[in-house]
């Protein structure tokens, strides 16, 4: 019984800490061919698109040079070649994104985009 209580406590601690974890900025360049129109997922949407009309799964790069594919949503289609900065939090995924000029992207990342 004590082991179950310990596991519940650990789970709650991790849940609280994940909300306190700092977010990271990831940069990407829109490839319109990778966008897709979403189907209605109902109340619970675990697709990563946030119940938005369109979703994109794109290769993203952070300031450390790490690369990974990230899925995020949009209410509108995004233009091919648009540069985005994504605010990503561990466990929660993409919190927000904004279109930015290429000059706002660190030089080391510009070469990879």
> What are the chain's domains?
22-110 (2.40.50.480)
Residue 18: predicted pLDDT = 55
Nearest to residue 27, comparing CAs of 74, 76, 86? 86
Q: Is the pLDDT of residue 50 over 60?
A: no
Print burial letters for 31-66: b (CB count within 10 Å at least 16), e (below 16).
eeeebeebeeeeeeeeeebbeeebbbbbebbbeeee
Single pTM value for the model? 0.72
Residue 51: predicted pLDDT = 63
Task: Name the DSSP letter for residue 99.
Answer: E
Regarding beta strands 67-74 and 83-89, do their DSSP bridges make them parallel or antiparallel, or are they unpaired?
unpaired
Residue 44: predicted pLDDT = 52
Higher local confidence (pLDDT), 44 or 3: 3
The count of residues in the chain is 113
Q: Is the pLDDT of residue 97 over 60?
A: yes
């Amino acid at each position: 019984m004590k082991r179950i209580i310990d596991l519940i406590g650990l789970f709650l601690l991790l849940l609280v800490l994940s909300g306190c974890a700092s977010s990271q900025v990831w940069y990407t360049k829109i490839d319109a061919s990778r966008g897709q129109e979403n189907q209605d997922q109902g109340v619970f949407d675990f697709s990563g698109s946030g119940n938005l009309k369109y979703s994109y799964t794109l290769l993203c790069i952070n300031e450390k040079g790490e690369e990974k594919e990230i899925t995020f949503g949009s209410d509108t289609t995004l233009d091919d070649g648009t540069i985005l900065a994504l605010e990503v939090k561990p466990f929660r995924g993409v919190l927000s994104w904004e279109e930015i000029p290429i000059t706002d992207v660190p030089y080391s990342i510009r070469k990879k985009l």
